[in-house]
Amino acid sequence: MKQPLHDSMNIVARDHEVCAGFARAPYFPLVVKRGRGSILEDADGKEYIDLLASAAAINTGHCHPTVVEALRDQVGELIHYTPGYVYHELKVQLAEELVRITPGKYRKRVAFGLSGSDSIDGMIKLVRAYTMRPKIVSFVQAYHGSTYGALSLTALSLNMRRSIGPLLPEVHHINYPDCYRCDFGSSPERCSLQCLNDFRRAMHYYLPPDEIAAVVMEPIAGDAGFIVPPKRYMQELHSICKQHGILFVVDEVQQGFGRTGKWFCIEHFYIEPDIIVMGKSIASGIPMSAIVGRAEIMEALDAPGHLFTTGGSPVACRAALATISVIESEQLVRRAADMGSYMQEELKRLAGVYDLIGEVRGLGLTIGVDLVTDRGTKERAREAAAKICYRSFERGVIVIFMAGNVLRIQPPLVITKEQVDKSLDVLEHSIRDYLGGKIPDEILNFAKGWGM
Ligand SMILES: Cc1ncc(COP(=O)(O)O)c(C=O)c1O
């Protein structure tokens, strides 16, 4: 038998031979092998500071000892028994915890899934069944996942939608309030929330509000480049929903579980949503997602309305309970707020030195660094983003870009100040290397990212 070769480049080559390319958006040839806290080790034993946290799915850090111990204990006890047919206490305990930590002082119910996408699909069923209305409003540039329902709300990449239609009918996309690249040519100082007037106009001419079941929104448009909506927009949108009996749903799959300096990002806007969809960091990397909503909405489906054989497994529940306990005992929500402010300040300092950085924005430890070729036109500096991420990888820092040009800074919430300082140092060196023309064009053949 042929002996497998274990160095990174060979594993990458073998991957390209046998794994489907559509499920991979490559930035650099990182082959992960081991992780501890905010440090990753590759197949060749090289270490990296992780500013990506597996796409914001490891808020507690890699292999947190409390999570690992809980998992070890649970796999020896019971790995799985489908919750479709039996009860288990861990699922109840976790549902009680999710009811406790989510905003909203009303009666709630919880349903578990395996990925953010399938919980988005479940949410779509619920809002339609509860309101008996067909239409859903989502946003241009939204990312809600890859299953047909979630993808129907997603509007971020032609490659995700091309040749696979038809998608779900009656989904309408409105503009996300992007104040840096305002679709209406306005600025925060002169803003009259024209983007919201556009929605109002749609409801007046062609989108009957009494046929809209829900507005579904990411409280920060993550994959669109970490766009933070203005508070005024959020509150007005919420009151429009209330006025017309439209449910307000937030997708916290990426921003939830402490990342933005609150348990859930929507708390920054003082809004109690009707439904919260969560996933990613909920179980520190073990597949799990959840829908938490007002009891009356969650009762709109009868069994077997939405269930999965391996959803809410004892192992995932144990990991999620350990995750919540770590976030609380290590005060990671507070830490995300503090470390996030520090990191943003430092990145803004770099923006003062390098014109390449058009804007630094975010909340807590979700930070976007928007690279532009020209601060006036705000043209996206795509090549710069690809090269800077690649060079940072070579220098031992994992950072990727979204929307073609926005550096994605979402480290584990346990990242230390030393690690932050070191990673910022590497980023600055990579920016200098880029500006000095020291990063070869060849890396662009590999570093395609999302291809936007
Ligand atoms: C905001 C948001 N919603 C939903 C999803 C889909 O989650 P999953 O990839 O677990 O299906 C993602 C994934 O990136 C996301 O960022």
Per residue in 163-178, pLDDT (tens digit) is 999 999 999 999 999 9
Helix (H) or strand (E) holding 30: none
382-394 and 417-435 helices, crossing angle to 10°: 130
Which is the closest atom of ligand 1 to the Cα of 287?
10
Name every residue whose Cβ is closer than 8 Å to that of residue 302 and which is 6 or more positions away in sequence.
none
Amino acid symbol at 39:
I
| Angle, CA of 57, 268 and 375, to the nearest 5° | 80
Which is the closest atom of ligand 1 to the Cα of 147?
11
Condensed to tens digits (0 to 9), the pLDDT of residues 178-213 reads 999 999 999 988 999 999 999 999 999 999 999 999
Which is the closest atom of ligand 1 to the Cα of 115?
10
| 70, pLDDT greater than 90 | yes
Cα 186 to averaged position of ligand 1 atoms, centre (Å): 30
Q: Given ligand 1 and candidates 24, 117, 147, which is best to mutate, with the most ligand atoms within 8 Å of its CB?
A: 117
Query: Residue with the nearest Cα to atom 4 of ligand 1?
Result: 144
Q: Given ligand 1 and candidates 121, 254, 257, 284, which is best to mutate, with the most ligand atoms within 8 Å of its CB?
A: 254
Q: Given ligand 1 and candidates 24, 123, 144, which is best to mutate, with the most ligand atoms within 8 Å of its CB?
A: 144
Cα 205 to averaged position of ligand 1 atoms, centre (Å): 32
pTM given for the model: 0.97
| β-strand pairing of 32-36 with 39-42 | antiparallel
Confidence at residue 3, expressed as pLDDT on a 0 to 100 scale? 44
Counted domains in the chain = 2
Residue 31 inside a domain? The answer is: yes
Cα 58 to averaged position of ligand 1 atoms, centre (Å): 13
Which is the closest atom of ligand 1 to the Cα of 289?
10
Residue 124 sits in the same domain as residue 249: yes
Condensed to tens digits (0 to 9), the pLDDT of residues 322-380 reads 999 999 999 999 999 999 999 999 999 999 999 999 999 999 999 999 999 999 999 99
Cα 355 to averaged position of ligand 1 atoms, centre (Å): 32
Residue 197 sits in the same domain as residue 267: yes
Helices (H) and strands (E) in the chain, counts: 14, 15
Residue 107 sits in the same domain as residue 241: yes
**8 A C-beta contact, residue 254 and residue 53:** no
Which is the closest atom of ligand 1 to the Cα of 145?
6
Cα 134 to averaged position of ligand 1 atoms, centre (Å): 23
Three-state SS at 412:
coil
Q: Which CA distances in Å does 3 have to 6, 8, 10, 14?
A: 9, 15, 12, 12
Residue 307 sits in the same domain as residue 337: no
Confidence at residue 1, expressed as pLDDT on a 0 to 100 scale? 41
Q: Which of 182, 362, 348, 163 is nearest to 268 (CA)?
A: 362
Which is the closest atom of ligand 1 to the Cα of 120?
4
Q: Given ligand 1 and candidates 119, 143, 282, which is best to mutate, with the most ligand atoms within 8 Å of its CB?
A: 143
Residue 101 inside a domain? The answer is: yes
Q: Based on the number of CB atoms within 10 Å of its own CB, is 80 exposed (0-12), middle (13-18) or buried (19 or more)?
A: middle
| 6, pLDDT greater than 80 | no
Q: Given ligand 1 and candidates 58, 280, 289, 410, which is best to mutate, with the most ligand atoms within 8 Å of its CB?
A: 280
Condensed to tens digits (0 to 9), the pLDDT of residues 21-33 reads 999 999 999 999 9
Residues of the domain holding 38: 24-63+331-445
Residue 153 inside a domain? The answer is: yes
Q: Based on the number of CB atoms within 10 Å of its own CB, is 18 exposed (0-12), middle (13-18) or buried (19 or more)?
A: exposed
Residue 298 inside a domain? The answer is: yes
Residue 38 inside a domain? The answer is: yes
6 φψ region: left (φ > 0), alpha (ψ -120 to 50), beta (else): alpha
Cα 254 to averaged position of ligand 1 atoms, centre (Å): 6
Cα 117 to averaged position of ligand 1 atoms, centre (Å): 6
| Domain end call among 281, 312, 343 | 312
Condensed to tens digits (0 to 9), the pLDDT of residues 93-142 reads 999 999 999 999 999 999 999 999 999 999 999 999 999 999 999 999 99
Residue 89 inside a domain? The answer is: yes
| Domain end call among 282, 312, 342 | 312
Residue 50 sits in the same domain as residue 105: no
Q: In what order do the strands lie in the sheet with 47-50?
A: 32-36, 39-42, 47-50, 397-398
DSSP structure string for 117-131: HHHHHHHHHHHHHHH
pLDDT band per the 50, 70, 90 thresholds, residue 2: very low
Residue 260 sits in the same domain as residue 396: no
Phi, psi values for residue 294, rounded to 5°? -55, 135
Residue 243 inside a domain? The answer is: yes
Residue 342 sits in the same domain as residue 428: yes
| Domain end call among 265, 280, 312 | 312
Alpha-carbon span 27 to 399, nearest angstrom: 9
Residue 145 sits in the same domain as residue 270: yes
Residue 122 sits in the same domain as residue 177: yes
Residue 171 sits in the same domain as residue 248: yes
Query: Residue with the nearest Cα to atom 8 of ligand 1?
Result: 116
Which is the closest atom of ligand 1 to the Cα of 142?
1
Q: Which of 203, 57, 183, 47 is nearest to 137 (CA)?
A: 203
Residue 18 inside a domain? The answer is: no
Residue 290 sits in the same domain as residue 359: no
List ligand 1's pocket residues with C-beta within 6 A: 55, 115-117, 120, 143-146, 218, 222-223, 251, 253-254, 279
Query: Residue with the nearest Cα to atom 13 of ligand 1?
Result: 145
CATH number, domain containing residue 225 = 3.40.640.10
Helix (H) or strand (E) holding 368: strand 366-371
Cα 147 to averaged position of ligand 1 atoms, centre (Å): 10
Cα 223 to averaged position of ligand 1 atoms, centre (Å): 9
Residue 150 sits in the same domain as residue 272: yes
Confidence at residue 450, expressed as pLDDT on a 0 to 100 scale? 81
Cα 149 to averaged position of ligand 1 atoms, centre (Å): 12
Q: Chain-wide mean pLDDT for the chain?
A: 96
Condensed to tens digits (0 to 9), the pLDDT of residues 398-440 reads 999 999 999 999 999 999 999 999 999 999 999 999 999 999 9
Cα 116 to averaged position of ligand 1 atoms, centre (Å): 5
Cα 448 to averaged position of ligand 1 atoms, centre (Å): 20
Residues 62-80: what's their mean pLDDT? 98
Cα 143 to averaged position of ligand 1 atoms, centre (Å): 7
Alpha-carbon span 365 to 103, nearest angstrom: 20
CATH number, domain containing residue 436 = 3.90.1150.10
